Homo-oligomer: A and B are copies of this chain.
Amino acid sequence: MSLWLQLEQAEAGESRALSEVLDAIPWNADGLIATIAQQHDSGEVLMLAWVNRTALEQTLTSGRVCYWSRSRQQLWRKGETSGNPQHLLEARLDCDGDAILFKVEQQGPACHTGRANCFYNAIRNERVCVIGAAQ
């Protein structure tokens, strides 16, 4: 039985070693899984990005979120250049292990545009409306 099926059938409170779980993650062809960053207290969804195993391990070890930049093809320690880091409160894998949710304390805006989050293009009445002002 796959690890994910074991976890699916587990009772609340059961656990597995992290290394065993990381070995079982179905990383995609580029070695990545999708990652959601959410502000831990307000629930605001800040952004969607990607991690490889190294980025995830660095995030867990340091407590500061590190992604894999697909455009730059390198580790992206969020905030290192922007000054707007994400401090990790908790990481949670989903039921089939191909997505992860980071609950974070976002310092400053999350989006490179200066907006609080990246999801500022709202689809309304056959239009896409910008709902957050650039800074």
Known: A111-B95, A122-B91. A128 touches B13 (CB 8 A): no
A127-B94 in contact (CB<8A): no
Known: A8-B113, A45-B38. A18 touches B123 (CB 8 A): yes
Give the B-binding residues of A (Cβ under 8 A).
7-19, 21, 34, 36, 38, 42-45, 47-48, 60, 90-97, 99, 101, 111-113, 115, 118-124, 126-134
Q: Which residues of B contact A14 (CB under 8 A)?
A: 129-130
SS class, residues of chain A in contact with chain B: mixed
Besides A11-B134, A92-B122, 12 other CB < 8 A contacts? A7-B128, A7-B130, A10-B130, A10-B134, A15-B127, A15-B130, A16-B127, A17-B128, A18-B127, A34-B48, A90-B124, A95-B115
